[in-house]
Amino acid sequence: MIAAEPVKQRLARWAYGALLRLLTPVYLLRLWRRGKAEPLYRHAIAQRLGLAYAPSEPGRLWLHAVSLGETRAAAPLLAALRERHPGLRLLLTHSTATGFDAGRELLREGDAQTWLPYDTPGAVRRFLQRWQPAIGVLMETEIWPTLQHEARNAALPMVLANARLSAKSLRQGERFAALLRPAAEALRLALAQSEADAQRLRQAGVGEVQICGNLKYDLQPDAALLAQGQAWRAGLDRPVLLLAVSREGEEAPLLAAWARLPVQGRPLLAIVPRHPQRFDEVAALIEAQGLRVARRSSWTDSPPEAALGADVWLGDSMREMPLYYGLADVALLGGSFEKLGGQNLIEAAACGCPLLLGPHTFNFAEAAELALAAGAARRVDDLQTAITQGLTLCADAAQRLAMQQAAQAFAAEHRGAAARMAEAIAGLLAR
């Protein structure tokens, strides 16, 4: 039995690698198609295969932040690491265009940025042989079987920072234990967001786990964007209800319900979709309900007169969430009204925006429960109830003020994860 287990793991990894090789042309075609709307996806496609890297010296700290949320969360961690290691040389990798674009702001002279290759043996080996980093730091949930196997073979210490693992993901991982458990075991260290995450990570096979908190509490909202949103709100003669970071399946029922409300006294509805490729789709949904839409992308500093009379503002801009939270009287948390696990609610709290959560917040379970306990957010059973409660809060300044103050206090109370994680990673760098 003991001898059979390594064979089973090798077979699982071989089958996984073979499947990814077969699917690589499909992935590349998908990238090219996505590049029509988001041109950055067509940038340096060969890097996805572990090819065409610029010359570089070994020994960098490699940090992988798959998309926008992880890249933003990495900012305070990198700042804390640079305080401890002023000469830090960074290799920053991503998988999505939004992450790559945001990552440019984290770079300093001498740093490098590239795409993470697909998780096939050849691509991963070429990537690691080319860069030869001193340590690898993966953000949040990015455990890849081939990458972990090749890193272990290369004696490269791998850290999972701001680590989280939901009960659902743990169950799914147990179904593919022959593939995923060795990947988890190959981690040198996981820096977990919560005690519950730490327990699940240990169950998944991670040997050393430390509880450090959530890096997203250490993110400070852009003060200029927040002030701009507040100024826009001051110029309106009606309250604003925001659907923040919405996902597919949430906008249509909200818009249908909104169209049935009496026009007289109805707040301005603002919708900010999670994915930029859906901006036109959501605009079409708004127009299909007979509602007048104003798109944020159609103006610069201040909304024009036509936008002031619109029924819905579509937030079709990137990296402006503090602006929208400053604009809103109340926000509904996107991703929580479908079985999608919710989006990051910490940024809304830091901006002092009262928040209504749907039933599905398993991606941010601890943060959601803490926010609810602090009075920074309220839980509702469904979208219709969220609309009803949102309208009530829009009309109740005293309740909103209490939630605003509670939200800011809640966000401030849980800061400090960046310093704790940087200390742990610096300890590995010093070995």
Measured N-to-C along each axis, helices 167-175 and 195-204 cross at an angle, to the nearest 10 degrees, of 0
Please name the residues in contact with 131: beta carbons below 8 A apart, sequence gap of 6 or more.
53, 56, 58, 60, 62, 91, 112
The token pair that represents 68 in the structure block: 């926008």
The token pair that represents 160 in the structure block: 């999972």
DSSP-derived secondary structure for 150-171: HHHHTT--EEEEEE---HHHHH
Residue 38 is among the residues annotated as catalytic for this protein: no
Active-site residue, selected from the candidate residues 38, 57, 70, 140? 70
419 with 215: CB under 8 angstroms?
Answer: no
Distance CA 13, CA 148 (A): 11
291 with 259: CB under 8 angstroms?
Answer: yes
Question: Looking at residue 245, what DSSP letter applies?
Answer: E
120 with 147: CB under 8 angstroms?
Answer: no
The three-point CA angle 104-109-113 to 5° equals 40
3-state secondary structure of 61: strand
Distance CA 332, CA 343 (A): 11
The token pair that represents 331 in the structure block: 């926000």
The token pair that represents 352 in the structure block: 């002092």
Measured N-to-C along each axis, helices 365-374 and 195-204 cross at an angle, to the nearest 10 degrees, of 170
* Catalytic residue positions, numbered: 70
